Structures are given as C-alpha cells and as structure tokens.
Amino acid sequence: MTEKSNFAPHKRQGGTPNRIMGNMLLALSLIFVMAFFNFGKAALILCAASALAALATEILFCLLTGKTYEFDCSAIVTGLILALLLPAILPFWMAIIGAVFAILVVKMPFGGLGRNVFNPAAAGFVFLTVCFPEQIFTYPKINLFLQFSQSDIAGVIIEKSPAEILKEGGLPTQTLVDTLLGLFPGPLGATSVIILLCTATLIYFKRIRLAAVPVGFILAAAAGAVLFPRIPASPTITLDSLIFELSSGSLMFCALFMAPDPVTSPKNTWGRLIYGIGCGALAMLFRHVGKYEQSECVAVLIMNAVSPYCDRLHRKIELFRIAKTKARK
C-alpha cells in the first residue's frame, strides 16, 4: 500500500466517499444542465456514454479480479468530468475509450478509490488528445436555438475556440457577457465561468482547505496572463489577456474540479497551495510552448506525481514557522 492510500478522500475531508462524490456529482450535474442547454442531445449522449463506460469498466474489473465492488459514485464522476472536457461533436465511442482508459489503466490497477496516484479523468483526456488531437479540439458554433444530436452533426458550423485563437497570437472577439456565460466554442461544460464558480461552492464551502488548490492555480495562471500576454498589443492588453486566458479552454474547470481531487492532491494547506501554484504555472507554460491549445490536464498529471513533495514542503514551512515563533519568545 502506498503512502497516498493512507489518506483516502473520506478521511482527509471528514465525510464518507458517497457523500463527497455525491456533492461532486451534484455540482457536475448543474454544469451538465448548461451543456445540455447549449448542445441538446449531443451533450446527453456524450456524458451518458462516458459515465456508464467508466462505471461498467470498474464493475467488470472487480468481477474479473475477484474484488468486492462497492458503489461510491466515483467512476460516474470520473466519466462525467471527462465528458465535460470534450467537444460536443466528438463521436461517443471516443469518450467511451477515454473513460475505459481512465478506470482500467489509471485508477483500478493502483487499488481503486483513494489509492490512485494520477487523476483518472485527466489521464483519460490526455490519452484521447494524443490519439485523436484533431477531433478533441474541433468545436461547434454555439446556437442556443438550434441544438443537434450525434446523428445530425454533418451541417454543424465549426469555429475556432478562444484558446486556439490565443495560441495563434490573435485576439478573441466574444463579449464579456459571452465570456462569463461560456457562449463561445469550447469544451462541452468547461467554459461558463459563472456556472463553474457557482457549482464549485457546493464542494468548497464546507471544506475550505481544499480551496487552497484552485486559489493557487488561478492566481498563478492570472500572473502568467498578466506578465506574459499572448494577445496583440492593445490599450487594454493586460485586462484582455487576464480575461481571455482564464476563461478560455478548460483552465477554470481544471482548477476547480480536477486539480483539487482529494486523492491525488496534497493533504496539507501549504502543500495544497504550492501544488495549485505549480498546476497554474505549468498550465500557462504549456500554453506558450506546448503543441496543443489546452494542456491543463497535463499540468495536473505532472503535479500529481510531485504531490508528496508538496506535503514535505508544507512540513518544512511549519517547522520554520514554529522555530521562528520560539526564537521571538
């Protein structure tokens, strides 16, 4: 048993797995409502396929290995998170492949919930990105009055996402209202800043320690946007860069719903803050030098690997603080 497995999420957060995952599922369900409002049946099919594939894979793994299966919603949460990172027009079988990879390769071989080293949904998304990069970053134009299903996407208008426009050195054209509401091309459920912030309160308002991760993530990303803008020179270059970098792609979604994963993130407050800052800094670095327009999941996976070292830094900070306090006395 690894060191990380000693800190199962229900022990680290003061609740049961079902309650914790239930809160997460409720928050993600609210985000799904917005995705369904934008994309109709396509959103329903993609989310259902991914969630059911993740659940079925976990059950099948337990049956084949002789392990006792205990339903805790975690597989459904993984599948739903993965689906909300994907474009609405992605064939549902690709989402199934990503969900199966997340559970079969990244989660269950390590022992299941509370023992996985890497975030399964992030790994599933990166796997799909490597296998199907063109499809993963192809987004339909949002038309609130003309929804579509997986069977009638031939006539859908394809548009560049703000993340792709920033990658090319351009300036996105959506208004501030569209930016806040997420009414622009992008992942299925990862663009509406208002919806993301509102639903995140369901997770963090009783567990403020977890909030250190998204706070560090967003602050580091904001600093990168201000100090190293990618948009053309303009009178409001700093503000424009800050707004478009934070709202484009899946940055806010990853900061609020993936990086703070209680299993793969540090268990102490200072460690969480350092971990979050690392995620945000790497995400912005990869946006500048990486191949793909979105690389937040890669940043999360890298920081998953160094999560124990963030806890060690926390202990050193605490020892230094205690020593400084004693010296003053």
Buried b (16+ CB within 10 A) or exposed e, 211-249: bbbbbbbbbbbbebbeeebbbeeeeeeeebbbbbbbbbb
- Residue 32 structure tokens: 């799904």
Cα–Cα distance, 241 to 247 (Å, whole number)? 10
Burial, 47: exposed, middle or buried (Cβ in 10 Å; 0-12, 13-18, 19+)?
buried
Q: First and final CA of the chain: distance in angstroms? A: 42
Domain boundaries, the chain: 3-328
Phi first, then psi: what are they for 225, rounded to 5°?
Answer: -65, -40
What's the pLDDT score for residue 174?
82
Per-residue CA distances from 312 to 16, 258, 268, 273, 299 (Å): 26, 22, 9, 13, 20
What's the pLDDT score for residue 168?
87
Residues of the chain falling short of pLDDT 70: 1-18, 143-155, 202-209, 234-235, 320, 329
Query: What DSSP line would sit under 105-172, residue for residue?
Result: IIIGGGTSTTT-SS-HHHHHHHHHHHH-HHHHT-EEPP-TT----TTS-TTPPEE--HHHHHHTT---
What's the pLDDT score for residue 294?
87
What's the pLDDT score for residue 329?
64
Helix axes 296-305 and 269-289, enclosed angle (nearest 10): 140
What's the pLDDT score for residue 144?
57
- pTM value is 0.87
What's the pLDDT score for residue 90?
92
Cα–Cα distance, 162 to 174 (Å, whole number)? 8
What's the pLDDT score for residue 155?
63
What's the pLDDT score for residue 206?
58
Q: Report pLDDT digits (tens) over 48-87.
A: 999 999 999 999 999 999 888 888 888 999 999 999 999 9
Cα–Cα distance, 193 to 229 (Å, whole number)? 20
* CATH 1.10.3430 holds for 3-328: yes
Longest dimension (CA), the chain: 74
- Residue 311 structure tokens: 């806890």
